[in-house]
């Protein structure tokens, strides 16, 4: 394109201010204060209504747990007309063992899993994030793939292995794998976090003659408290909610955990005693709810950065 | 950022890395730090995987020693109408509930984005079901809510509608489980929120100066830049949904009923392996499950080339 042809296409005269204004109109008037105010009110009303619909079954379960069985189904409303604690006392003792027994069993498994995931996974993460060793890329890829491996592929031989060891109906099949860092997801989470810690810190310590264990224990772990908290919180929730493996490895009633015990409510009590079932369901959800209340920051961060469920 | 993107970027380092003085003795330390993990990998993961592959070619039943029966288990699977049905049920569940769950997650994330007052509270409220959704307690609640004289029917009665016993009707039972899965849209929603936050605000400013409408901004900026997150959520939720067990087990009382309408694949696998002790068959089923999940993920990755937009 020659210079002259460009000039031909250019407007003959420079556009006046008026022409410019016509060509580029002002952005449309912003909605007035009241209009935007109404819009935002409507939005909030919609969001609140939606939230209520979502949480209604939960709220209703809580309300129903304080109602006598006879009126639970006649009242879809929330406010109990006749408050009773009977469901809780009855539900607590409805099964073979008092409910505290199952709570304790669950707590033991959770405690073991917490220790395992916090120690074993952070150790493995340190190796992947900081050490140079042969085949690191390959092992790392294997670790990543093991995160996505469905448990069903290994559960049958695991069951055979643990029954050979006489571990069925003990907590060992549920705790020992965690001590061996099989929840590889948390290794990944901590590798991500460790990578964000400046290398200069531990390299300086290295030059000063500090060993790897001390670097891991005195530098990396103290700096990784958020990642450790996220790990602890998700380990707690997943282990507390876990049903599949607990159902398989714990078949004797005195070894039942909360989820397995809750399930037997359906067989043990008649369908009409929903009240005590609800009461114990709520008891089983309280720990999760507390973790949710106090660990929200880490929950949201954990999901947002690593995409867990 | 995620396992998925990490796997995309795992590549062999080019050339041999020269071990610097700083990394002398790393190998020994690695043995110490990776020791527990490695033991777990062999004893708890890889060993059992190999064993399960072997068992899938046997008639092992826990009570007697395994006999090699070749491909019999795999051939039997294709003649097993209950297995075919369980695949149908599971695929229906996955293919309907996952897209709806993600759509809900995305819609809510868009509404909640950018400086909404009370954002943290809404986010928590919508996220809570994700935390509780996998528990036995919620599955039991669902059983009641959609039961013959449950909460849903009580509400319908206000409008003079007489509802069914939703969980005990073969046409609707699976639907109640889908609703349960959609109800837990909070976790993908939070991932979407994080993704939205990473889109630079200046893109929108530039677009609106150029006179792009809100809708145009949504389709030309938000959606393309969000496709990696949508993809990530999709892969993750498909894998998870395909392995759903607890909800189906509890809502159906362990039977997969009524009339096998909630007989998820994993539930059938459990029944075969741990109720009938047909462990050879269950192992073969487990390998089919792995093949399906891996295949689904591979297809996802292949198709992703055509719709996922990577900015890097």
Apex A121 CA angle, A115 and A127, nearest 5: 140
Reference B287, options A164, A156, A245, A185; nearest CA is A156
Q: How many helices (H) and strands (E) does chain B have?
A: 16, 0
Closest B-chain CA to A142? B41
Tell me, yes or no, if A111 comes closer than 8 A to chain B by beta carbon.
no
**B206 chain-A contacts, CB cut-off 8 A:** none
Partner A, chain B 177-216, Cβ-Cβ below 8 Å = 183-184, 187, 190-191, 193-194, 208
Tell me, yes or no, if A189 comes closer than 8 A to chain B by beta carbon.
no
Residues A21-41, mean pLDDT to the nearest whole number:
67
Please, which contacts does B116-119 make with residues 24 or more away whose CB atoms are closer than 8 Å?
A: B116/A43, B117/A40, B117/A44, B118/A44
Give the phi and the psi of residue A293 in degrees, each rounded to 5: -65, -45
DSSP code, position A55? H
Query: Using CB atoms within 10 A of its CB, is residue A253 exposed (0-12), middle (13-18) or buried (19+)?
Result: middle
Tell me, yes or no, if A213 comes closer than 8 A to chain B by beta carbon.
yes
Give the phi and the psi of residue B68 in degrees, each rounded to 5: -70, 125
DSSP code, position B260? T
**Inter-chain CB proximity A299 and B12 less than 8 Å:** no
pLDDT for the residue numbered B15: 45
As a whole number of angstroms, the distance between CA A251 and CA A246 comes to 8
pLDDT for the residue numbered A70: 74
Architecture of domain B89-307 in CATH? Orthogonal Bundle (1.10)
pLDDT for the residue numbered A16: 60
Structure tokens given for A98: 């008092």
**To the nearest whole number, what is the mean pLDDT of chain B?**
88
Confidence tier at B14 by pLDDT (50, 70, 90):
very low
Tell me, yes or no, if B274 comes closer than 8 A to chain A by beta carbon.
yes
Tell me, yes or no, if A30 comes closer than 8 A to chain B by beta carbon.
no
Cβ neighbours of residue B282 closer than 8 Å, sequence gap 6 or more: A156, B269, B270, B272, B273, B274
Residue B189 clears pLDDT 50, i.e. is over it: yes
**Inter-chain CB proximity B43 and A243 less than 8 Å:** no
**B47 chain-A contacts, CB cut-off 8 A:** 157, 161
As a whole number of angstroms, the distance between CA A275 and CA B229 comes to 42
Examine residue A231 and say whether the peptide bond preceding it is cis (omega within 30 degrees of 0). no
Confidence tier at A5 by pLDDT (50, 70, 90):
very low
**Inter-chain CB proximity B124 and A296 less than 8 Å:** yes
As a whole number of angstroms, the distance between CA B251 and CA A245 comes to 18
Please, which contacts does B156-163 make with residues 24 or more away whose CB atoms are closer than 8 Å?
A: B158/A76
Confidence tier at A21 by pLDDT (50, 70, 90):
low
**B48 chain-A contacts, CB cut-off 8 A:** 153-158, 161
Domain borders along chain A are 95-268
Contact status, residue A268 vs residue A54, Cβ threshold 8 Å: no
Residues A282-305, mean pLDDT to the nearest whole number:
85
**Inter-chain CB proximity A150 and B250 less than 8 Å:** no
Confidence tier at A282 by pLDDT (50, 70, 90):
very high
pLDDT for the residue numbered A268: 63
Residue A214 clears pLDDT 60, i.e. is over it: yes
pLDDT for the residue numbered B3: 63
Highest mean pLDDT among A24-33, A79-88, A259-268, B53-62: B53-62
The HSE-up count of residue B272 (CA atoms within 13 Å, CB side) is 29
Lowest mean pLDDT among A114-118, B92-96, B192-196: B192-196
Residue A22 clears pLDDT 80, i.e. is over it: no
Please, which contacts does B151-159 make with residues 24 or more away whose CB atoms are closer than 8 Å?
A: B151/A56, B151/A57, B151/A60, B151/A76, B154/A73, B154/A74, B154/A75, B154/A76, B155/A76, B158/A76
pLDDT for the residue numbered A18: 59
**Inter-chain CB proximity B183 and A54 less than 8 Å:** yes
Distance from CA of B141 to the nearest CA of A (A): 7
Mutate to test the interface with B, among A196, A211, A307 (most CBs of B within 10 A): A307
Lowest mean pLDDT among A14-23, B41-50, B113-122: A14-23
Confidence tier at A9 by pLDDT (50, 70, 90):
very low
Contact status, residue B147 vs residue B168, Cβ threshold 8 Å: yes
Question: For residue range B216-253, what is the model confidence (pLDDT) as tens digits?
Answer: 999 999 999 999 999 989 998 999 999 999 999 999 88
Q: Fold for domain A95-268?
A: MetI-like fold (1.10.3720)
3-state secondary structure (DSSP) of residue A47: helix
Residue B20 clears pLDDT 70, i.e. is over it: no
Partner A, chain B 49-68, Cβ-Cβ below 8 Å = 49, 51-52, 55, 62
The HSE-up count of residue A104 (CA atoms within 13 Å, CB side) is 7
| pTM for this entry | 0.87
3-state secondary structure (DSSP) of residue B117: coil
Structure tokens given for B109: 């994330």
Closest A-chain CA to B268? A152
**To the nearest whole number, what is the mean pLDDT of chain A?**
85
Contact status, residue A80 vs residue A279, Cβ threshold 8 Å: no
**B232 chain-A contacts, CB cut-off 8 A:** 307
pLDDT for the residue numbered A7: 42
Residue A17 clears pLDDT 70, i.e. is over it: no
Contact status, residue B295 vs residue B276, Cβ threshold 8 Å: no
Question: For residue range A51-90, what is the model confidence (pLDDT) as tens digits?
Answer: 999 999 999 999 888 888 777 776 677 777 778 888 899 8
Structure tokens given for B62: 């826990």
Confidence tier at A202 by pLDDT (50, 70, 90):
confident
Tell me, yes or no, if A154 comes closer than 8 A to chain B by beta carbon.
yes
pLDDT for the residue numbered B68: 93
Domain borders along chain B are 89-307
Q: How many helices (H) and strands (E) does chain A have?
A: 17, 0
Highest mean pLDDT among A123-127, B18-22, B131-135: A123-127
**Inter-chain CB proximity B17 and A132 less than 8 Å:** yes
Please provide the DSSP assignment of B4-61 as one string: HHHHHH--PPSSPPPPPGGGTTHHHHHHHHHHHHHHHIIIIIIHHHHHHHHHTTB---
- Quote the percentage of chain A above a pLDDT of 70: 85
The HSE-up count of residue A143 (CA atoms within 13 Å, CB side) is 32
Query: Using CB atoms within 10 A of its CB, is residue A208 exposed (0-12), middle (13-18) or buried (19+)?
Result: exposed
Interface A:B, Cβ pairs < 8 A: 282
Mutate to test the interface with B, among A147, A182, A309 (most CBs of B within 10 A): A309
Confidence tier at B162 by pLDDT (50, 70, 90):
confident
A158 or A20, greater pLDDT: A158
Closest A-chain CA to B286? A153
Reference A136, options A178, A177, A191; nearest CA is A191
Closest B-chain CA to A146? B45
pLDDT for the residue numbered B65: 86
Confidence tier at B117 by pLDDT (50, 70, 90):
confident
Confidence tier at B298 by pLDDT (50, 70, 90):
very high
Distance from CA of B47 to the nearest CA of A (A): 8
Closest B-chain CA to A147? B3
B306 or B11, greater pLDDT: B306
Report the run of H or E that residue A211 belongs to, with start and end.
none
pLDDT for the residue numbered A283: 95
Contact status, residue A302 vs residue B149, Cβ threshold 8 Å: no
Confidence tier at A94 by pLDDT (50, 70, 90):
confident
The shortest CB-CB distance from A309 to any of B155, B240, B253 is to B240
As a whole number of angstroms, the distance between CA B20 and CA A133 comes to 12
Contact status, residue A288 vs residue A237, Cβ threshold 8 Å: yes
Lowest mean pLDDT among A75-84, A194-203, A209-218, B9-18: B9-18
As a whole number of angstroms, the distance between CA A230 and CA B292 comes to 31
Residues A28-55, mean pLDDT to the nearest whole number:
82
As a whole number of angstroms, the distance between CA A183 and CA A188 comes to 9
The shortest CB-CB distance from A73 to any of B149, B158, B246 is to B149
Residues B268-275, mean pLDDT to the nearest whole number:
94
Tell me, yes or no, if A259 comes closer than 8 A to chain B by beta carbon.
yes
**Inter-chain CB proximity A159 and B151 less than 8 Å:** no
pLDDT for the residue numbered B175: 94
**Inter-chain CB proximity A262 and B126 less than 8 Å:** no
């Amino acid at each position: 394109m020659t210079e002259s042809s460009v000039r031909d296409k250019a407007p003959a005269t420079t556009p006046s201010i008026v022409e410019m204004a016509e060509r580029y109109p002002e952005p449309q008037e912003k909605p007035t204060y009241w209009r935007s105010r109404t819009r935002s009110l409507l939005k909030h009303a919609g969001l609140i209504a939606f939230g209520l619909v979502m949480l209604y079954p939960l709220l209703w379960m809580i309300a129903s747990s304080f109602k006598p069985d006879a009126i639970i189904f006649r009242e879809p409303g929330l406010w109990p007309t006749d408050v009773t604690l009977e469901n809780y006392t009855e539900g607590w003792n409805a099964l073979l063992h008092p409910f505290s027994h199952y709570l304790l069993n669950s707590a033991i498994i959770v405690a073991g899993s917490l220790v395992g995931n916090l120690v074993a996974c952070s150790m493995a993460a340190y190796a992947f994030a900081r050490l140079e060793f042969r085949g690191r890329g390959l092992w790392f890829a294997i670790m990543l793939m093991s995160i996505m491996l469905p448990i069903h592929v290994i559960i049958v031989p695991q069951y055979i292995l643990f029954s050979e060891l006489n571990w069925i109906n003990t907590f060992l099949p549920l705790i020992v794998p965690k001590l061996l860092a099989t929840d590889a997801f948390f290794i990944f989470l901590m590798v991500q976090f460790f990578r964000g810690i400046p290398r200069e810190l531990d390299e300086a310590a290295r030059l000063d003659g500090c060993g790897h264990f001390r670097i891991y224990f005195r530098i990396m772990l103290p700096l990784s408290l958020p990642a450790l908290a996220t790990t602890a919180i998700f380990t707690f929730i997943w282990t507390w909610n876990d049903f599949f493996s607990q159902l398989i490895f714990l078949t004797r009633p005195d070894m039942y955990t909360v989820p397995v015990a809750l399930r037997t409510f359906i067989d043990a009590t008649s369908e009409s005693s929903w009240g005590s079932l609800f009461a114990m369901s709520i008891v089983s959800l309280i720990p999760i709810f507390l973790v949710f209340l106090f660990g929200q920051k880490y929950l949201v961060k954990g999901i947002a950065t690593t995409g867990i469920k | 950022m995620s396992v998925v993107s990490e796997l995309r970027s795992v590549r062999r380092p080019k050339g041999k890395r020269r071990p610097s003085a700083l990394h002398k003795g790393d190998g020994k330390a690695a043995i110490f730090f990776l020791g527990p993990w490695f033991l777990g990998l062999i004893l708890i993961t890889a060993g059992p995987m190999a064993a399960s592959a072997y068992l899938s070619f046997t008639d092992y039943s826990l009570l007697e020693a395994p006999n090699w029966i070749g491909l019999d288990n795999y051939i039997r699977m294709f003649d097993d109408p209950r297995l075919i049905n369980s695949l149908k049920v599971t695929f229906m569940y996955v293919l309907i509930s996952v897209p709806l769950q993600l759509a809900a997650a995305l819609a809510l994330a868009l509404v909640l984005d950018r400086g909404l007052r009370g954002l943290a509270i809404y986010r928590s409220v919508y996220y809570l079901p994700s935390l509780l959704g996998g528990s036995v307690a919620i599955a039991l609640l669902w059983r009641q809510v959609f039961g013959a004289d449950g909460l849903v029917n009580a509400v319908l009665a206000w409008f003079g509608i007489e509802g069914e016993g939703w969980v005990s009707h073969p046409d609707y039972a699976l639907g109640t489980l889908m609703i349960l899965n959609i109800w837990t849209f909070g976790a993908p929603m939070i991932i979407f929120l994080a993704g939205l936050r990473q889109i630079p605000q200046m893109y929108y400013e530039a677009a609106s100066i150029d006179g792009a409408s809100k809708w145009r901004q949504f389709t030309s900026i938000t959606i393309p830049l969000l496709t990696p997150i949508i993809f990530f959520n999709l892969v993750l939720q498909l894998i998870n949904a395909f392995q759903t067990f607890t909800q189906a087990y509890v809502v159906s009382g362990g039977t997969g009923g009524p009339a096998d309408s909630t007989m998820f694949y994993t539930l059938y696998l459990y029944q075969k392996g741990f109720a009938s002790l047909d462990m050879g068959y269950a192992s073969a089923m487990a390998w089919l499950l792995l093949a399906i999940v891996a295949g689904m993920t591979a297809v996802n990755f292949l198709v992703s080339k055509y719709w996922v937009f990577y900015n890097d």
